[in-house]
């Protein structure tokens, strides 16, 4: 793994939704897309970037949907946490099959398959060039994996949260439904909250704002997008403080 002093970000937290792991499928894990994701992550890791990942579980189980169907919210949320572990293990397997050392840490202990989340150990793994995948959210119901991503980013002192989506940034309306929707190149944290843009939940945005961690929302389907972000190219939508949003 090479180190490049010109990198814009040297330690990142990549947030991947479960839906992203589903790829072209309506449910489950698209192994071809997971293979592509692994290659994209390895590219930035090979530049010398320390990479941590938080995965969602919506491709397998959505807690809030189950809550509406009669499963209690708390139980449904724990079931959703377990779904994120399945995704994390699959991602780990693909990365390690390509020769990249990877660790899965879970907020709910399951020592037979993953390490428990320990902040200092996670940071040490990153310093040694290992990719760390955080699973099981925060370990608590009522908190989204976006909030888990913001929390872990603050704990490991990540320099940015990179939120991977199916569109190339934040728009004033869903661009898949509204073709003329305007894309925002840069936003302040408060803009994200005040405009009601449903990209990340308010708890996650507030955590990033309080800890001055920029958020970059981008399309993971665009090849080399991660490399472009860490090397300083304007990709997707940048969310930060007012002065940072001006500079991008």
Was 194 annotated as part of a binding site? Answer: no
Residue 32 pLDDT more than 90? yes
Residue 66 pLDDT more than 60? yes
Was 36 annotated as part of a binding site? Answer: no
Was 201 annotated as part of a binding site? Answer: no
Was 77 annotated as part of a binding site? Answer: yes
Q: Judge if pTM exceeds 0.75.
A: yes
Q: What pLDDT sits at residue 208?
A: 97
Was 171 annotated as part of a binding site? Answer: yes
DSSP 169-189: SEESS-TTT-TTPPEESEEEH
In angstroms, rounded to a whole number, what is the distance separating the alpha carbons of residues 135 and 55?
6
Q: What pLDDT sits at residue 242?
A: 67
Give which of 248, 181, 170 is closest to 205, Cα–Cα: 170
In angstroms, rounded to a whole number, what is the distance separating the alpha carbons of residues 212 and 164?
19
Helix (H) or strand (E) holding 132: strand 131-135
Hey, what's the torsion of the CAs at 237, 241, 242, 246, to 10 degrees? -50
Q: What pLDDT sits at residue 166?
A: 87
Was 223 annotated as part of a binding site? Answer: no
Average pLDDT over residues 112-135: 98
Was 69 annotated as part of a binding site? Answer: no
Mean pLDDT of the chain: 93
> What is residue 46's three-state secondary structure?
helix
Give the fold, CATH level 3, of 11-247.
Carbamate kinase (3.40.1160)
Residue 4 pLDDT more than 70? no
Was 48 annotated as part of a binding site? Answer: no
Helix (H) or strand (E) holding 104: strand 102-106
Was 57 annotated as part of a binding site? Answer: yes
Was 142 annotated as part of a binding site? Answer: yes
Was 165 annotated as part of a binding site? Answer: yes
């Amino acid at each position: 793994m090479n180190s490049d002093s010109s990198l814009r970000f040297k330690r990142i937290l990549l947030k991947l939704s479960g839906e992203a792991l589903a790829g072209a499928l309506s449910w489950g894990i698209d192994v071809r897309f997971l293979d592509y994701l692994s290659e994209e992550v390895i590219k930035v890791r090979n530049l010398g970037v320390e990479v941590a990942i938080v995965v969602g579980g919506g491709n397998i189980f959505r807690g809030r949907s189950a809550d509406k169907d009669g499963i209690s919210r708390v139980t449904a949320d724990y079931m959703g946490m377990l779904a994120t572990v399945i995704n994390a293990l699959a991602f780990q397997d693909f990365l390690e099959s390509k020769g990249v050392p990877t660790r899965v840490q879970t907020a709910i202990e399951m020592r037979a398959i993953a390490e428990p989340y320990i902040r200092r150990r996670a940071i040490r793994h990153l310093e040694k060039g290992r990719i760390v995948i955080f699973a099981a959210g925060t370990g608590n119901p009522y908190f989204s994996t976006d909030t888990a991503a913001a929390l872990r980013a603050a704990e490991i002192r990540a320099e940015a949260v990179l939120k991977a989506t199916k569109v190339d940034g934040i728009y004033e309306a869903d661009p898949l439904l509204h073709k003329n929707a305007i894309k925002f190149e840069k936003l302040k944290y408060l803009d994200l909250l005040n405009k009601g843009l449903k990209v990340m939940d308010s708890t996650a945005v507030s955590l990033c704002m309080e800890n001055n961690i920029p958020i970059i929302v981008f399309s993971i389907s665009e090849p080399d997008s991660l490399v472009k972000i860490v090397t300083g190219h304007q990709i997707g939508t940048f969310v930060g403080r007012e002065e940072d949003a001006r500079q991008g």
